Structure 1
Amino acid sequence: MAKLHFSLVAPERELFSADVDQVDAPGTEGDFGVLPNHAPFMTTLREGRVTVRDGATVKLFDIQGGFADVGPDGFTILAEHAVEVAS
């Protein structure tokens, strides 16, 4: 099964980087999900929760705005501030 390479980067450091099944993010124009082979796009992000799914594993991150970039090499979020949430 195809995987999506996802990176979550905050000003302090890269918080997460791995090949995953799906990522859901809080866009300024509405929440959105990204799967492998998604069409390329860029958008701004609002404060909210990023959900990263890989099989049965779910990781949660709270972000305070930023930018999202989906391209042929994967999905990158550049967050203004981000922290992992204990699940």
Structure 2
Amino acid sequence: MASLRCTVATPTRELFSGEIHYASVPGAEGSYGVLPGHEMLVSSDKQGILTLWLDEAGNTRRQFLLYEGAAQVYQDTLTVLGRFGTDLDTLDVEVVKEKAEALRQQIEDLEGQEGEQARVALENCKNHMAWYDLQLKVAAEPAK
């Protein structure tokens, strides 16, 4: 069976690059599948799990947790860009908990400050906190 090229990335790093046989993408209007030969597509994505099937039989999969973003299918190439993202196989819950706790303190400190710079910093921290909370929620769910 044919395959398609796939890249999964965030603004700071590439999470995956390789050949796949199928992808399940968490689109903003609902999850959708991508197979080789898929029609051209650009979509907004919501937070959720991107699943890539690396072999034709579906025995080898990779899963990535993404926080918002976009996807494009063009000429048998799937590109998925997330605002934040991580490989679920390497998610370290203890590290995420530590980062979340430090960020909670930073948010608490910023909430008492005034000014545009503090407002922007607080908004950025809250976005990161939502990302950490999502990771912890998914890690606590039973594997599918």
**Could you state the TM-score of these two structures normalised by the residue count of structure 1?**
0.95
Q: Distance in 2 between matches of 1:66 and 1:28?
A: 9
1:44-83 to 2 correspondence within 5 Å?
A: 44-55=44-55, 56-83=59-86
Percent identity, aligned pairs only, is 32
- Over 3 Å counting, the alpha-carbon distance change for 1:34 and 1:73 in structure 2 is closer
Which consecutive unaligned segments of at least 5 residues does structure 1 have? none
Structure 1 residue 83: deviation in Å? 0.2
- 8 A Cα contact 2:50 2:66, kept in partner: yes
Q: Distance in 2 between matches of 1:34 and 1:73?
A: 9
1:84 to 76, 84, 87: 87
Q: Distance in 2 between matches of 1:10 and 1:85?
A: 15
Q: Relative contact order, CA 8 A, sep 6+: which one is greater?
A: 1
- 8 A Cα contact 2:36 2:76, kept in partner: no
The structure in which a higher percent of residues are strand is: 1
Which consecutive unaligned segments of at least 5 residues does structure 2 have? 90-142
Q: Which residue of 2 aligns with 1:32?
A: 32
Larger radius of gyration: 2
**Could you state the TM-score of these two structures normalised by the residue count of structure 2?**
0.58
Q: Which residue of 1 aligns with 2:100?
A: none
The structure in which a higher percent of residues are helix is: 2
Q: Which runs of 4+ in 1 moved over 6 A?
A: none
Counting matched residue pairs gives: 87
Q: Distance in 1 between matches of 2:21 and 2:80?
A: 16
Amino acid at match of 1:54: L
